[in-house]
Amino acid sequence: MRRLRMTIGDHVVHAELYDTPTAEAIYSAAPFSARLKTWGEELEFAAPVDRWREPGARRSARRQELVYSVDRRLVAIEMGPDGSDADADLPLAQPCNVFGRAVEDLAPLRAVLSGETIRLERAED
């Protein structure tokens, strides 16, 4: 399974990528950096890929999942509300390509502010 390392300041989070075309595109584009935007219970950032909506695109995600918004051309890390059930569905504004899942707890990322930089790199297995 392919993995990414995401670094925001002193925080490092690894993600396991699903077997999807979007996951392959993001993995192939790494390494890259982007400015983060906080949006409710998610972190968003532009990705240097241009993808289409995959047949399995979903209108909801689960905590820890990584999604790609075709309409907005960005990646979102879904954190969900504090104390939310890991299996609870989190609604998305439009169908998105869900392409991976963060391995570590995302609670420390709640302190991240808009404008900080995220760095995505391929992680060695």
pLDDT digits (tens, 9 = 90+) for 48-69: 999 999 999 999 999 999 999 9
Can you name the residues that pair with 32 across neighbouring β-strands? Answer: 120
H or E segment and range at residue 11: strand 11-17
CATH number (domain holding residue 10):
2.40.100.20
**Domain count within the chain:** 1
State which residues form the domain around 47. Answer: 3-123
Q: What is the pTM of this model?
A: 0.92
Are 104 and 11 in contact, with CB atoms under 8 Å apart? no
| Model confidence pLDDT, tens digit, residues 66-102 | 999 999 999 999 998 766 566 678 999 999 999 999 9
